[in-house]
Structure 1
Amino acid sequence: MVAVTPYNMPRDPLMGANHLTAVRWILAAIVALGHVFLLTTGWEPIRIHQWTGGYMAVNGFFVLSGMLIAKSLDLRRDLKIYAASRALRIYPALIILLLAFVFIFSTMFSRPGGIENIMSGEIWSYVGRVLLLGDPQNAPGGIFAGNLEADFNGPLWTIRFEIAAYILAAVGFALGILKNRWLTVVTFVTVQVAYLGLPLVMDVGTLSAGVMPLMRLSAAFLLGMCLWQWPRARRPHWVLVIAAIAAFLWLGAGFGGELLATLALTGVMLRFGLSDVAHAPVVALPDYSYGIYIWHFPVMQAVMFLRPDTGPLGLALLSTPLWIGFSAASWHFIEKPALRLKPRARRTVAAPSIGTEDNRPMP
């Protein structure tokens, strides 16, 4: 077990040892498991009502991200360091993935393929588009041609929304909106109501393709930011968590089902991720989740390109050791060294702006 805070003071798991890395592993694995079926059958059977496991896992990622980003902004309060840290977390591994796309995937796993693809303007245009937060959802240069899903790396679509959330969160803190607990809640409710309500009053198909995903993921991100502002909400009683799960199982197919699913998932993540007792082997897990997220899909696609008749079980058995290996290499040789380059600054001596009562250590 990991020791609790000295002097017999109750600990706040978010401020010390916790299981959030393990939660991210689980979320990334759920996304990958859904794609095992999607790439072989065209259908994700892991779902409750209409909500697939992968869809909800993405929401879960954004809830956790919002909570941790709010913590970073509130404790450090240095936007230059914040920007550098976020860039170092996202871009080094993404750049390596895109170089693999150019020099390996486009030459060996495309039709007609070949070394000439390295000089293709279409290939490099895709690289630039992804790095500049454009739409990554296609397969330039005939990559993975003939596969059931014609996409190089579908999960990359969320990265531009993640970066947009980072930027908007920084702006909100700079303006003072997201430093205030009540304004944070009001912002979350406003975005959530807009996301739920717009389809009731207009044809959202007429909106730009990114509007509804941005609202969806911003609502999840803001929910996480609210959790930072309200520490006691990070410790929901199991009765509340079970009630949220029951409400989703009963009402999740109707209006507001996604919100119920996100609340239920958030409750489970908080109970496990911010457990009263931190188990050392779980705390010590290396953070492969980002690597899993960005590598599993192209690796699975490559297996399907070489063995198009592979079923879900076969794809899982053949691809999982590969994408776990790539994820491990990404963490140990790219992501972790890049994170060591983050600028360091002393935390502000001022208490976080989350109110005096809820700023006390958690019971």
Structure 2
Amino acid sequence: MHRNNYNLLRLMFALAVIFSHSFALLGQTEPVLWDRSLGNLSVHGFFVISGYLITESYLRNPKPFAFVTNRFLRIVPALFVALLFSHLVWHLCGGFKTNPVPYIANGPIWTLTWEIVCYLLVLLTGLIGVLTPAGMPVAFFASWLLYLTHLHDASDAYAVIAPLLMMFISGAFIRVAKDRINLTAVFLPALALLIFAAAPYTSDLGLSLVRHNIAFLWGPSVTDSEARRVIYLAALPLVLAYLGGVAKPLVNLRDDISYGTYVYAWPVSQTIVFVSRSRGFDLNVAELLIATLVITLPLAWLSWKIVEQPILKLKRRSPKKPDLNGAGPTARA
């Protein structure tokens, strides 16, 4: 039995992405929490877990060739099959050009590019000796300093990519410093901060009151939205690290179908939308969600059993420190 909740969290995030995209693929606005869509929030959760477990994997087997090989085997074979599937249904459905979100065969896989970037960062920082209890805090706080000094940056790269990197780095930092961080002690304060930042009355009762009554001569002006973003980025990794690795395991998920769920759901949903619209039937969100799950979950299970699990047997392992089994739909350890 798994002694943590990471498999469960990964699957929950994958299902949350499907739920969020059920709105988007019907041309509706996705649910929003902490000033971001539920799909975007879920991807952030993936990156936190990825940062923790990919770092754990490197520390257990810090050989560069083994690290690169294991990352390749975990991501690429299953992704290749999913892309073939995506291209096939895209071709059969005329490129989804009549859908509310036309032409895009598999939207979520863009995150995998940044996962690979993060893998390379783990490898690089490991090789130069940063992934240590002495070096990682310096790198972590330097990352936060860089992020805060660009807090007003409105570019897409900063708004979308920087939070992904910060989540991954936070997960990596928590893993390296896990013997110095009492996750049980910080869980409730971090959760309280998340709830505070998400509450609709936060601006009136909290952030604005603080910002308008604390003198900060020549300091930067920070909006309520920016303050909520900082709270969210700082607190979410701590909450997930506790729920994933410290809290009592809730279920025993032997089959890790989260990756398959993540990479197959979008083309399945797009196909369902195309077929329904071509027959003059307009789906609602609940109908699209249920239909997507009915088809995607068996595909994800087949991907695990036929592609992912057999490939994992080829992974290079340390004879003394066996590698972990996975890191998430957008990150597999």
Structure 2 contact 50–168 (Cα < 8 Å) conserved: yes
Relative contact order: is structure 1 or structure 2 higher (C-alpha 8 Å, sep ≥ 6)?
2
- Show the counterpart of 2:144: 192
- Show the counterpart of 1:306: 275
Cα separation, 1, equivalents of 2:40 and 2:162 = 14
Q: Which moved more, 1:83-92 or 1:305-314?
A: 305-314
Q: Which moved more, 1:263-272 or 1:337-346?
A: 263-272
1:295-340 Cα shifts (integer Å, max 9, x gaps): 1111000000111221101101221110111111111111111111
Matches within 5 A, 1:1-363: 17-44=3-30, 46-102=31-87, 104-110=88-94, 143-150=95-102, 151-177=104-130, 179-200=131-152, 204=155, 210=157, 213-231=160-178, 232-233=180-181, 235-237=183-185, 238-249=187-198, 250=202, 251=207, 254-279=225-250, 282-308=251-277, 309-347=282-320
Gaps of 5+ in 1: 3-15, 111-142, 350-363
Gaps of 5+ in 2: 208-222, 323-333
Cα separation, 2, equivalents of 1:243 and 1:171 = 35
Whichever residue aligns with residue 77 of structure 1, its letter is P
Instruction: Give % identity.
Output: 25
Structure 1 contact 292–327 (Cα < 8 Å) conserved: yes
How many residues get paired?
293
- Offset of 1:211 from its aligned partner? 6.2
Cα separation, 2, equivalents of 1:243 and 1:182 = 29
- Offset of 1:105 from its aligned partner? 1.3
CA pair 203-54 structure 1, distance change in 2 beyond 3 A: closer
CA pair 20-76 structure 1, distance change in 2 beyond 3 A: same
Secondary structure at the aligned position of 2:25 is classed as helix
Q: Which moved more, 1:282-291 or 1:247-256?
A: 247-256
CA pair 253-302 structure 1, distance change in 2 beyond 3 A: farther
Structure 1 contact 247–260 (Cα < 8 Å) conserved: no
Cα separation, 2, equivalents of 1:148 and 1:196 = 37
Secondary structure at the aligned position of 1:181 is classed as coil
1:241-297 Cα shifts (integer Å, max 9, x gaps): 333223423359521423322444334323332245335xx1334211111111111
- Offset of 1:159 from its aligned partner? 0.3
Whichever residue aligns with residue 79 of structure 1, its letter is P
Whichever residue aligns with residue 44 of structure 2, its letter is N
Structure 1 contact 59–217 (Cα < 8 Å) conserved: yes
Secondary structure at the aligned position of 1:345 is classed as coil
Please report the RMSD computed on the Cα atoms of aligned residues, expressed in angstroms. 2.4
Structure 1 contact 88–342 (Cα < 8 Å) conserved: yes
TM-score by length of 2: 0.80
- Offset of 1:203 from its aligned partner? 5.8
Secondary structure at the aligned position of 2:184 is classed as coil
Secondary structure at the aligned position of 1:254 is classed as helix
Secondary structure at the aligned position of 1:343 is classed as coil
CA pair 271-43 structure 1, distance change in 2 beyond 3 A: same
Structure 2 contact 184–246 (Cα < 8 Å) conserved: no
